[in-house]
Structure 1
């Protein structure tokens, strides 16, 4: 395809327009775009699931105990999630690929070492590792879709800076529902076999706009409204996000690519993923579904945990110093536990070994900031805490999870606003939960409605 170049006496404007055209041509000339790949894949998967259910629909998988019902449905096998599966020993696998495998095979930015989140989104949706050209096309398409409606910009600019960034995010995403293609199509009576197409369009729009929303929140809350909200069509999704946040360190951009990739999905049972699936099962559009998931992510037992880890580390540093001896560290940890508190960043509902998301962040730190005092403190805690928790005998998993490390890395590169960290988590989590939502509608999954029982009814059932 030939590219017609524009000449003008207004050189900057001509250069900008040429840049946009070049990005669009790259997108059009890709082997196939993401929607075309899905259009070919979904009918085959629908037939495969239909035949599987026809043959094994009455087959029982697992058993439910009373403790599971009172214990937050922990361990109950009751959801379908196509995008990722969490193994107690291996950690997360995205469409069958571990985090180290994703780091190896997913496309990277020029001169970059970390995977591009665009590549992971393609993998989550299709089950296939994309080419470099396909990922570039997806970056260009998200850049084309990134502009915010004026009413959302006005709303964000009028929110008080004292409002928590996660509340601002949920409000803005909800307001984006004004332009939902799915909501309009449903109102117009679209056939249910087409639901996935409009959920896909909304999801692409939402993912494209999230960095602009999140950067606006950051600049308004912490920078007095100063900062660029413009998208560069020649940059990838993460690089544009970092630019709009006001950072220019290439290492921080690499960190953000890694961060946005590894926080994207964690199978379907965690609070944010399950909430998006649940609300979406009522045929709420992706904006409303995702906003609901973000309200769940804002909780201290979910996305807010990385902030709690950092607060605990700083308390540790204040009381025993940044370079404590091993015995001083042990004494502080035992003091924490005996006070009825937990060591934040350790333990996981499913994992029984060190979280691979922790490991890859540690490897990043060893490469880029090995001498940072806070990182070295995290490393010392890593050596001391698991044996103590094992000795305590009440913790099934004494190993660190993803939250034990991420805040330290963000602090190192100058992002010290801890209240904002969960927004970064939310931007990343969109990749996984929205990919799942597309497949929920493609497979025609119904409204979620599990049966609940009272304690009396359970007691009667046990007696019978």
Structure 2
């Protein structure tokens, strides 16, 4: 278990660089991390230059007409450093499987959930932090959570009928005036220095995301309850986020840490990741790109899976009662499909196995609260649905549970019945992956994205010329 050194430090409204210089006695892990990146980045840049020089004209794959029509589906056309998805292994973070991430990441409880701070360090540097680096990094993120009072009051003024994701996106956008990258770009900066200029912003966006999200939660559901002082306690990122939402059990702290880690990243092809990457490619600062990605996540085909899956489970409970059976599950699956609906939480466009992230969430539920009826239902569906779906629909490519098939049930156990807020939780977690990837985009000097396009007529005419 990694212990965490704590300190209570109050800050005035000033740039991050000045805040850090107020404490000359400390050796900041944030500067150590920047030093590591200064060593690592030239090596990766060299590999990329060699790749372009020696293999730049090689054809990777052909593209068919359907892929163009389907929004470039399955076309690998971008560099994304932090994670990749495999059909038979699921998502990997920096080459590590989810099983390895859960096992190898530092934790705050012996044998407990992985610490989000440790995975953020891994995303950025490609390696795990030492104990000292980890301890300092936990505190550094807390210090960087600072939001000016006027920005807090602005977020708290949002109308009660404004959706949580709209408030979250606007709240992060309201912090944009603190962007050091935007200031550097305005003053002029060499391309090879972009990563250094964007470094603080990327980490600050992550650090501030949970505080903005908690302000949104309290604005909507807690009558604008004041947030506890972020510096005057011993809580880490995940536990503090849960605390700001009003949850103070050790089990909820552990769940929040696990939730954040398992939802952090999912390759560069997902809509939110690609939006973040696209907006960042025109040198918009991280606050702008993250806010844009949140707008993407808010779409029903992207970030609403957890709440939709939970609603489906609740349909079963409402229909058959607390004493539902596996036969009831089978009947409800048929009912769902017969009504031209999908079974939420099952199936994936790439992964062809039970998502390891689902497995770890289900394991958490069965370990910590095995008698919870919803957790039992999630487990029973897992035992029934993967065998059932192929019998009903022979063309199904993946009948297995994905990431969102358990998360809603876990949150509901703690009484979080604000289902429209679940996407905000998802957005906070994705800040870790998105910001890490954005830093590496600037480190590698990747250009503005500008794919070509067809009209329907032009595509048809082109297709006719191909034998």
Scaled to the shorter chain, the TM-score interval is over 0.9
Gaps of 5+ in 1: 1-14
In the superposition, the TM-score normalised over structure 2's length comes to: 0.92
Residues in 2 aligned to 1:26 and 1:119: alpha-carbon distance in whole angstroms: 24
Runs of 4+ in 1 over 4 A off after TM superposition: 15-18, 23-27, 29-32
Q: CA deviation at 1:30?
A: 5.5
Q: How does 1:147-162 map to 2 (within 5 A)?
A: 147-162=146-161
SS of residue matched to 1:185: helix
Residues in 2 aligned to 1:73 and 1:442: alpha-carbon distance in whole angstroms: 26
Residues in 2 aligned to 1:31 and 1:438: alpha-carbon distance in whole angstroms: 14
Q: How does 1:29-44 map to 2 (within 5 A)?
A: 33-44=32-43
Asked if the contact 2:9/2:143 (under 8 Å) is kept, the reply is: no
Asked if the contact 1:26/1:137 (under 8 Å) is kept, the reply is: no
Aligned to 2:409: 408
Q: CA deviation at 1:330?
A: 1.1
Asked if the contact 1:322/1:377 (under 8 Å) is kept, the reply is: no
Aligned to 2:423: 422
- Deviations along 1:392-437, one digit per CA (max 9) or x if unpaired, are 1232111111111000001111212111111111111000011000
Asked if the contact 2:205/2:287 (under 8 Å) is kept, the reply is: yes
- Deviations along 1:154-183, one digit per CA (max 9) or x if unpaired, are 211111122111100000111111121111
Q: CA deviation at 1:25?
A: 8.4
Q: How does 1:12-411 map to 2 (within 5 A)?
A: 16=8, 28=27, 33-111=32-110, 113-232=112-231, 234-391=234-391, 392-411=393-412
Report the count of equivalent residues: 449
Q: CA deviation at 1:463?
A: 2.2
SS of residue matched to 1:28: coil
> CA 1:31–1:434 in 2, change beyond 3 Å: closer, same or farther?
closer
- Deviations along 1:116-158, one digit per CA (max 9) or x if unpaired, are 1111111111111212221211111111111112232121111
- Deviations along 1:69-128, one digit per CA (max 9) or x if unpaired, are 112321111111111110011001111101110111111115461111111111111111
Residues in 2 aligned to 1:298 and 1:130: alpha-carbon distance in whole angstroms: 33
Asked if the contact 1:37/1:126 (under 8 Å) is kept, the reply is: yes
Residues in 2 aligned to 1:341 and 1:185: alpha-carbon distance in whole angstroms: 50
Residues in 2 aligned to 1:339 and 1:245: alpha-carbon distance in whole angstroms: 37
Residues in 1 aligned to 2:28 and 2:170: alpha-carbon distance in whole angstroms: 37
Aligned to 1:8: none
Q: CA RMSD in A?
A: 2.1
Residues in 2 aligned to 1:202 and 1:305: alpha-carbon distance in whole angstroms: 29
Asked if the contact 2:30/2:137 (under 8 Å) is kept, the reply is: no
